[in-house]
Structure 1
Amino acid sequence: MNSTSQKVSVIEKIGYSLGDLAANLIFQTLMTFLAFFYTDVYKIPPGTASAIIFAGGMIGAFFNPVMGIIADRTVTRWGKFRPWILWTAVPFGVMAMLAFSTPDFSPGGKIVYALVTYMLLVIVYSANNLPYASLSGVLTGDMGERNSISSFRFVAVMIAQFIVQALLLPLVLIFGDGDKTKGFENTMTLFAIIGVIFFIITFLTTKERIIPKAGQKSSVREDLGDLVKNKPWVMMLIITIFIFVTLSLKGGMYVYYFENFLSEQHLASFLEDIGFNGFIAGLNSMLTSMGLHGFTWPEDAPTSGFSLFNAGGIIMMIVGITVSKKLADKYGKRDVFGISLFISAMCLLLFYFYAPQSIALVFLTQLAHGFFYGIGTPLLWAMIADVADYSEWKNNRRATAIIFSAMIFGLKAGLAVGGALVAGILAFYGYDEQLVVQTPETINGIKLSLSVYPTLTFCVSVVCLFFYEINKKKEIQIQEELLDRRK
């Protein structure tokens, strides 16, 4: 391997992180609102929506290994991975707009349109995000710098998550003048334009420093053979699948939890008591006194409460991310990730035991969950880059993209399964979007889906970490020996 200086400038770290901000404006929307968009906006039955999300997502997931093989064999003057970020920027934006459009087709036509546009979106997402993720493995070989890059990157992810989870429903109502159908189309158009611009910035500001030596050649069979013998890779594949099943399941259920379980009266009183309504009124007064248009905010308590709930969790995740690098440098990524994941799972479990009136406890638990999950958030991707180093260390060949294909495969498979579970569980428990008040059985299903079920899936990931052998000592050994080889 050849490598230049392993230090990465702040400008490059920011430029790289903007790519994740761009992708997550779309990804977080899929994870949190796709089932809601299909069932409540495009009026597709929950069971059918579940099948669409699962089928489209799994097709995209199985495209990832193919994309990994293609990316590892891409040779351009810009590198292996950067060109794909540029080439897919516009198609990604276009497919995002189409996937959240609502053409007036027959019921059967709506199903076909939703399946085709979602399937194409996740395929383009793979062609963009797999090379983007792989790029983090070749920006530097310094594991301390890699932890720093991950922290920058996931601050950007949290910004995107804040925009989507805290502000998307208000934006939908604002940009649609109260019409959710029109609002989703206009909001996703805005996200798509921002995304294209940020992808181009990522391409222009980054540099691939770890370059395979010219004589390195390996067949697809050899690359796949290295994978199946790479125990840390196998563990990370399982972990990633279960983490994204969890994120998609609980994230997709929160909106139903606020709409159908929590007491609207108590939620409204809580927002008034903490000064949130006064803050919005003061913001409106300030803007109008300056001659500007007032800041329109949804007046119904569930939408306001849901947005504030997500905003609080995301802010605490950012706080958690700020301490992640220091803890990982001291104790190692694996151990810090496992502990943070377990504690955040225990926080989720508490949601099942709260009454509809326990608004303050719901919000406090979300803050705690956000902080502890935030500590582990950057470490997942940094650990995958370490697995690529581990493969090179063991086999003396580097195949970065095929390694990262595990992450994106797991992400897509988890998104497909978790998203399908949201709609499938709603159908199983008898959810009917036409009912003002859901049945007790449906309410219980919603509660289980954002507490007990995601706790179990998070805990599967924690158990897998016991079999992930790259601890702090092994990290240092791999880094030092690879640096010697690359010299």
Structure 2
Amino acid sequence: MQQAPWQTKWPERISYGMSDAADNLVFQMMTTYLLFFYTDVYGLSASSAAILFIVARLADVVESLIIGLMIDRTHSKWGKSRPFFLWYALPYVAFAVLTFVTPPFGATGKLVWAYVTYLGLGFFYTAVNLPITSILPTLSQNTKELTLLGVVRQFGGSDVQIIVAVFTLPLVAYFGQGNQQKGFLLTIAVFGGISLILIWNTFFQVKERFTNPEHAHQSWSAVWQMLKQNQPWLVMSVVILLYWLTTAIKNQTTIYYFKYLQNDEGLVPWANAFTFASLIGVVLIIHSAGRWGKKRTMLGGMGLGLIGQAILALGTTLNVLPLIFTGTLVNAIGNGLIIGLVSIMIADTIRYGATLGIQAEGILASTDDFGVNVGLGLGGLITAGLFHLSGYAANQTQNLATQHMIVLNYAWLPLLLYLVMILVLLLYDDHRIQAALTKERE
């Protein structure tokens, strides 16, 4: 049986990949530095930040479903997903900048400002990010090409994710000249301007080609029936949530670990530099997925992530920086394999849903943003909540309980979550998808 011909060319592929790069310019600052910004720069207590994060994530659960339904109900000359890049890029960037503004208000006013801006940022992030996943299965019907597009997307996203992780604090120091409020604001303004250009470029360069009018725009009851039958989608939804929960807990704690336990905040960019190794994992996907399949490749990535996290945990126990950095590098390679396959495997579940008579790429792709938002929210809640319970005090020497909490979040909780991820992914039925797609092509 022959594969469908390839439909995209490199300008479109690169533009598609840059959409994820655009979102990560802001998103990575939010996941890695926003909790630190709120507690140590903006002036919120850890408990206030924890409540804000959980409220925002509860809102995002609803927003993901709303945006997914909006995509599935969109009728335009540009398609279903593509218009969202045009419509929502500017408000996304505007709210990103406003989130890092420190207004001259009292405690209550600043808390209200944080709620309004962060909740707005979460909504518009979903509006520009969810379409990246939902549009993928409409770009081509060639399985190998969809894998390549997913890899290009993740390569772009991971590149920028690492750049932001490594260079944010140096840029904050450069722009702020000792004033971190000014430094964070100018840094996000630069990232936001670049993000806006890249998102709009995606709108102009990509093209939706494969939307079946008979399967699109179905009733909610029909979509719901399909969701209940789509076992691979249900499993991937849980995997995505667990991955981002792990990422949030670890990333948000990194700066605290080096600031308060190593007494050197300047080590953060060095530690984050080792996450460049995730690009190795992303590049390996094309060969490994073709040879061993996507499920086994992702399981391999989770195994590497687990090994790397174990090395890192040992490094924190022995207080040996080379071990911590080695663990970060190995863990990053595994993460590249995992996250690089997420959008590709979600695209497979969307195509599988179409074999069941329902093309609902919006609602099925919403699981990606749903997992991201809930995982980040729970991660922020766990981190900030544990810090509050242990007596965390910003910019002071931390008590022993808080030091233990920092190590728990940075090393041991992520280790446990990798084990849970592996057990969940073992339930993923890739044979069901392949059988359905093969039958459809016959």
User: How does the TM-score come out when normalised to structure 1?
Assistant: 0.87
Instruction: Give yes or no for contact 1:169–1:303 (8 Å, CA) kept in 2.
Output: no
Tell whether the 8 Å contact from 1:165 to 1:310 is kept in structure 2 after alignment. yes
Amino acid at match of 2:312: F
Task: Provide the C-alpha distance between the structure 2 equivalents of 1:17 and 1:95, rounded to a whole number of angstroms.
Answer: 23
Structure 2 vs 1, CA of residues 58 and 349 (structure 1 numbering), >3 Å: closer, same or farther? farther
Aligned to 2:295: 334
Match of 1:481 in 2: 439
- 1:180 is aligned to 180
Distance 2:130 2:39 in 1: 30
Residue aligning to 1:358 = 320
Which residue does the alignment assign to 1:212? 212
For the pair 1:325 / 2:325, whether they are aligned, the reply is: no
Distance in 2 (CA, whole Å) between partners of 1:187 and 1:357 is 32
* Structure 1 residues 34-53: aligned runs within 5 Å: 34-53=34-53
Cα deviation for residue 6 of structure 1 reads: 4.0
Give the AA of the match of 1:139.
Answer: L
CA 1:176–1:231: 2 relative to 1, 3 Å: same
Note the aligned Cα RMSD (angstroms): 1.8
- % identical equivalent positions: 29
Aligned position for 1:384 = 346
Conserved? CA contact 2:42–2:102, under 8 Å: yes
Which residue is 1:99 aligned to? 99
Between the aligned partners of 2:309 and 2:410, the Cα distance in structure 1 is 7
Structure 2 letter corresponding to 1:458: Y
Q: How many residues align?
A: 439
Segments of 4+ moved more than 2 angstroms: 4-7, 213-217, 349-357, 474-484
- Specify the SS of the correspondent of 1:303: coil
Match of 2:117 in 1: 117
Match of residue 412 from structure 2? 452
Q: Distance in 1 between matches of 2:418 and 2:253?
A: 16
Structure 1 portions without partners, runs of 5+: 265-301
Shift, 1:459, TM fit: 2.0
Amino acid aligned to 2:307: M
How far the C-alpha of 1:386 sits from its partner, in A, is 0.4
8 Å CA contact retained: 1:142, 1:479: no
CA contact (8 A) 1:141 1:479 kept: no
1:161-180 superposed matches below 5 A: 161-180=161-180
Alignment of 1:67-78 (within 5 A): 67-78=67-78
Query: Which structure has the greater CA radius of gyration?
Result: 1
Letter in 1 for 2:138: V
| 1:57 Cα offset (Å) | 2.1
- Indicate the residue corresponding to 2:64 in structure 1: 64
TM-score between the two structures when normalised by the length of structure 2: 0.95
- AA at the equivalent of 2:296: D
Rounded Cα–Cα distance in structure 2 between residues aligned with 1:422 and 1:438 = 15
State how far apart, in whole Å, the 1-side matches of 2:199 and 2:135 are.
Answer: 13
Tell me by how many angstroms 1:476 deviates.
4.3
User: Which residue, 407, 412, 425 being the options, matches 2:386?
Assistant: 425
Contact 2:282 2:336 (C-alpha < 8 Å) held by counterparts: yes
1:187 shift after superposition:
0.7
Do the aligned residues in 2 keep the contact of 1:388 with 1:403 (CA within 8 Å)? yes
Alignment of 1:103-252 (within 5 A): 103-214=103-214, 217-252=217-252
Partners of 2:31 and 2:252 within 8 A in 1: yes
CA shift, 1:246, in A, is 0.6
**Deviation (angstroms), 1:132:** 2.1
Q: Where does residue 360 of structure 2 map in the other structure?
A: 399
